[in-house]
Amino acid sequence: MEKIVNKLYKLKETSPDLMIKKIKVNLFSYLYVASFETITSSDKINDFILKYISSKRIINTKKDIKNFIPSINYVDINKDETINYLLNGFTIIIYKNEVIAFETRADLDRGIASPQSEPSLRGPKEAFIENYQKNIGLIRKRIKSEKLIIDELNIGNKSKTKIGIIYLKNNNLASKVKEKINNINIDSIVDINYIKDFIDKDNHTLFPTVLYTEKADDAARFLLNNRVILISENSPSIAVLPTYFMDYFISSEDFYHKKFFSSFMRFIRFMAFILSITLPSFFISIINYDPEMIPFPLLINFSSQRINSPFPLIIEAFLLMITFELLYEGDSKTPEGRGTSLSVLGALVLGESSVKAGLISPIMVIVVSISSIASLIFTYHDIQGVIRFYRYFLMIISSLFGIIGLIIGIELLLLDISSITLFNKPYISSNLSLIKKEDK
Amino acid sequence: MKKLLIILIILLLPGCYNYKELKDLSIVYSFSIDKKENEYILYVNTIKPGEEKNKIITNTGKGKTIMASARNINNSLDLNLLNSNLEYVLISKEIIKNDLNEVIDYLSRDTRLPFNFLIVTTDDNIDTINNYLTKTSLENLLKISSNKNGYTYLLDFKTLLHNYLSKEKETVYPTVNIEKDKITIGNLIYFNNKEEIKLSKEEALSFNIISNNIKNNLITIKCGNKYFSLEALKSKSKIKNNNLKTYIETKLVSYECDYDLNNINTIKLLENLASKEIKDNLYYTINNMKKDYIATKIKNIETNIKITKEGTLRGDLL
C-alpha cells in the first residue's frame, strides 16, 4: 500500500490536478481516495463515494467498501493498473492492500449537434461528436440489428486511441480492413483522418478512396450498403471505406427527394465536376490557339475585353485563381462574425477593382468564378482537392499546347481514375451496392 | 514508359507554334476586290474592338496580282489578320467579267478562309460602298431581304465555286447600291458573254422559285383590278425530264378582291389564279433569259400553289 501511495504522491508533483484524499476510517487505518479532478465528475465522487465513506464506518474489508457504495460501476484492479485507470477517469480507493476503481468519468463533450460541414435541408440533422460511445449509439439507433458488429482495436503507441470497426455480418471486407489497421504503426491518432494514408497505400492516386462524413444517416446508409465504417475516439467524423468515384456524387439528401429531382441533381453535380476542371483550360486553349472557333460577335466581344490587359491569358487566370484560393482559405479560417468583411473585400474590392484597373479582363473573372463555384457544390470535400489539382494541371498544359494539350490532359485524368482498384473492384464502377445476392 | 513518353512528346510538339494573343489580332470582317488601271485593289475591312463599337477600318493594298495586293496590305497594318470570320466578299463587276478566275483561285487557295462567306457585287464604286459599311451591316441586309422579299438571294462562295467549276450553270449575283445615302438591295444580275443582264423583280422571284430559294417571301397576285398577297411557308421545286414541278404552300395575308371568302370555292379560285400567274411568270422569265440559267431545257412547267387554312387572314370565316 505504501508503495502505491508514494507513487501517487510523486505523480501529483507533475500533475497538480491529481486529487488524493486521506480518510481516517478507524483508529489505526487510513483509506486513500484518488482521482484526476479534470476528467472526473466531482458530483459523482461526492454523491457516491465520499458521502458514504465518511458516514459509515468501514469494518476492515473490501466487501464493506463495496457494500457502502451503491449503484456505481466498479472494478477490482491490479496495483500496476492504477495509473492507467486514473487516467481514464476512474476514482481509485486504496485500502490496505486492495485497490478498487469506480467509474466516475465526466462528460467532456458537447451534446449532439447538427452537422457543420455537411449542412442538409431535409432529413436527420444529427452529427457525430467527439464521444466514441455516443457515436456508436447514433449508428445503433438507426440499425437495430444483432448483425451490426463492432470490433475494437487500440492504435497508437502513445495515444492508445480506441478505433471501432463497424460492419454488418458476413462482410468479407472487414477482415481485410482489420488487417490493414492492425498493421498501422503510428505514435498517436488524434483524429480518424490520421489513418487515411495507411489504409490506401497501394493506390498512388489523388482521388479520394476513403470518405469522411459527420452525418449519422450517411453512416447508416453506407453500412447498409455493406461498407466498413471506422470510428475513432475523439473524432467528430467517421471514415467510410471503400468508397468509389460515384459515391462522391450521391448525397444522403438525394434519397429524401423524388427520383427525378435526385437524378437531376446528380447530373448537375457531374456537370459541375467536368466544368470546374475543364472550363478555364478550355477557355485558354480556345482563345490562345483556336480563336477561329469562336462565333464572330463573341470574338469581337472577347477581343475588345482583352485589348487593354497587359498579361497573357494564363497569367491572368493564375492571378485570379490564387486570389480565389486565398479567399477560400481565409474564409474557412475566419470566425463567423468577420466573414462578411472578407467577402465584401474579396468580391467588390478585388474583383471589381482589378477589372477596372485593367489588370484582368472581365470574361476571365466570369470563367474563374463559374469554375470555382462549380467546385464548391460537393458535399464531401475530399473531391475538391482532385478538382483543384487537375484544374491547374490542365490550365498549364493547355496554355502550352492548346486544344491538343487539353485533350491529352483529360486522357491522363481518365487514365488515372480508371487505373484505381479498391478491394478488387474498379474505382469508376457504377454499381455501388456491395451486397452480394447470397448475403441478402 | 519510354514509348509513352516519346508518343506524348510527339503529340505535344505542334503546340506552341499556333499561339496567338487575341489583342494582337485584327478580325477581318469583309473583303472588297476591285481592279483599276491593270492593278488589283484589295480592301480588307477589319473591326477594331475597343473604344468605338464596331468601328470598321479599311486597309488597302494594290498589286499586279491579287496575292501581291494582299501582301502590300501589310505595309499599313500593325496587327495580324484573323480571316476565319469573313462575312462576305464584295467583287466589282469588272472583275466578274474579266478576272473571276484569279479571284476564285485566291479565295479558295487560302485554307484559313471559311467556305460559307457571301459573294456580292455592286453597280456603284467599291470605294463608295466601303464608306457606308460602318452605318449598315451589309450581310444582315442581304439576309433579311432574301428572307422576306424574294428579289435577291444569298450567294455563298461554295455555290459560286460549284457553278464556276461545273461550267453549265451561269451564276446570278446579288447586288447592293447606294440609294438616298443608304446601302440598299439592287437587282439580281448575270453575265452573258460579258454582257450584263438585269433581272426584274418578277424575274428574280421566278429565279428564286426555280432554284428553291423561297423562304418567307411575299407573292402578290392580281385578281381582276385588285390584288391579294400570299406569304410562302414551304416551297419545293424539282426539275425532272425537262419538266419543272413547283409546289408552294402559302397563307393568305392580305386580301382586297371582290370574291366572297366565305365561299369554299373562292380559295380554290385564288389558288388557281396564283398558280397561273406564277406559271406565266416562270415561262416569261425562262424565255427572256438569253443564255439560259438552269432552265434551258425546261419545256413544261407545273405549278401548284396551296393556301393553307391555318394562319390565313380571316381564317375564322373559312
Output the tens digit of pLDDT for each of chain A's 440 residues.
677 888 888 888 888 888 888 887 777 777 888 888 888 888 878 877 777 777 666 556 666 666 666 666 777 777 777 888 888 888 888 877 778 888 888 777 777 888 887 877 888 888 898 888 888 999 998 888 888 889 888 888 888 888 899 998 877 888 888 888 888 888 888 888 888 778 877 778 888 888 888 888 889 988 888 889 999 888 888 999 888 888 888 888 888 888 899 889 989 999 999 999 999 999 999 998 888 888 888 888 888 888 778 888 889 899 888 888 888 888 878 877 777 777 777 777 777 888 888 888 888 889 998 998 898 888 777 888 899 999 999 999 998 888 888 999 999 999 989 988 888 888 888 766 555 544 44
**Residues 263-292, chain A: which have Cβ within 8 Å of B?**
287-292
Assign A154 to helix, strand or coil. strand
A243, A265, A285 - which closes a domain: A243
Do residues B109 and B103 make contact, with C-beta atoms less than 8 angstroms apart?
no
- Domain annotation covers residue A125: no
Residue A433 included in any domain: no
Helix (H) or strand (E) holding A198: helix A196-199
Q: Is residue B17 less than 8 Å (CB to CB) from chain A?
A: no
The minimal CB distance from B49 to the residues A289, A303, A400 is found for A303
Q: Which of A284, A287, A290, A292 to mutate: most B Cβ within 10 Å?
A: A292
- Would you call B52 an interface residue with chain A, using a CB distance cutoff of 8 Å? no
Question: Which residues of chain B fall short of a pLDDT of 70?
Answer: 11-16, 50-54, 289-300, 309-318
Nearest to A400 among B16, B84, B85 (CB): B16
Q: What ipTM does the predicted assembly reach?
A: 0.72
Asked if the C-beta of A357 comes within 8 angstroms of chain B's C-beta atoms, the answer is: no
> In this structure, is residue A358 part of a structural domain?
yes
Q: What structural domains does chain B harbor?
A: 21-198 (no CATH), 201-317 (3.30.300.210)
A403 touches chain B (CB under 8 A): no
Q: What does the pLDDT read at residue A30? A: 78
CA distance A429 to chain B (A): 26
**Quick one: which H or E segment has residue A268?**
helix A259-289
CA A305/CA A347 separation, integer angstroms: 20
Cα angle A192-A198-A202, degrees, rounded to a multiple of 5: 140
A91 and A139, same structural domain?
A: no
Among A210, A243, A276, the domain boundary falls at A243
Q: What is the pLDDT of residue A434?
A: 55
User: Nine-digit cell at A160?
Assistant: 492508445
> By the CB < 8 Å criterion, does B8 face chain A?
yes
CA B223 to chain centre: 32
Q: Are residues A264 and A394 part of one domain?
A: yes
Give the per-residue pLDDT at A278. 95
Which residues in chain A are closer than 8 Å to B27, comparing Cβ atoms? 296, 299-300, 303
Q: Chains A, B: CB contacts under 8 A, how many? A: 69
CA–CA gap between residue A99 and residue A80 (Å, rounded)? 10
CA A324 to chain B, closest CA, distance in angstroms equals 25
* A282, part of any domain: yes
A237 and A270: one domain? no
A411 in the same domain as A271: yes
Contact check, Cβ <8 Å, A400/B112: no
Distance between CA atoms of residues A99 and A93, nearest Å: 6
Contacts of B23 in chain A (CB under 8 A): 303, 306-309
Per-residue confidence (pLDDT) for residue B315, from 0 to 100 = 46
- Interchain CB distance below 8 Å, A308 and B50: yes
Instruction: State the helix-helix crossing angle for A362-375 and A382-418, rounded to 10 degrees.
Output: 90
Instruction: Give chain B's radius of gyration (CA, Å).
Output: 24
Total structural domains within chain A: 3
A402 touches B at CB < 8 Å: yes
Residues of B in contact with A312 (CB under 8 A): 21
Whether A303 maps to a domain, the answer reads yes
Same domain, A22 and A96: yes
B280 φ/ψ angles, rounded to the nearest 5 degrees:
-60, -45
Instruction: Give the amino acid at A389.
Output: F
Tell me if A77 is assigned to some domain.
yes
Q: Are residues A334 and A263 in the same domain?
A: yes
Domain annotation covers residue A108: no
Which neighbouring-strand residues pair with B301?
B244
Asked if B49 is an interface residue toward chain A (Cβ–Cβ < 8 A), one would say yes
**Does residue A376 lie in a domain region?**
yes
Among the listed residues B51, B21, B49, B111, the one whose alpha carbon sits nearest the alpha carbon of residue A296: B49
The three grid cell numbers given for residue A193, joined into one nine-digit string: 483522418
Tell me: do A264 and A374 sit in the same domain: yes
Question: Looking at the structure, do residues A94 and A203 belong to the same domain, yes or no?
Answer: no
What's at B1, amino acid-wise? M
Same domain, yes or no: A98 and A139: no
Domain extent for A231: 132-243
Task: Indicate yes or no: CB of B27 within 8 angstroms of CB of A308.
Answer: no
Chain A nearest-CA distance from B178, in A, is 26
Residues A225 and A266 in one domain: no
Length of chain A: 440
Q: Let me know whether A82 and A140 are in one domain.
A: no
Domain match, A262 and A312 both: yes
Closest partner residue to A299 (CB to CB) among B19, B23, B85 is: B85
Residues of B in contact with A306 (CB under 8 A): 21-23
What is the pLDDT at residue B15? 59
The residues near B165 (Cβ < 8 Å, ≥ 6 apart) are none
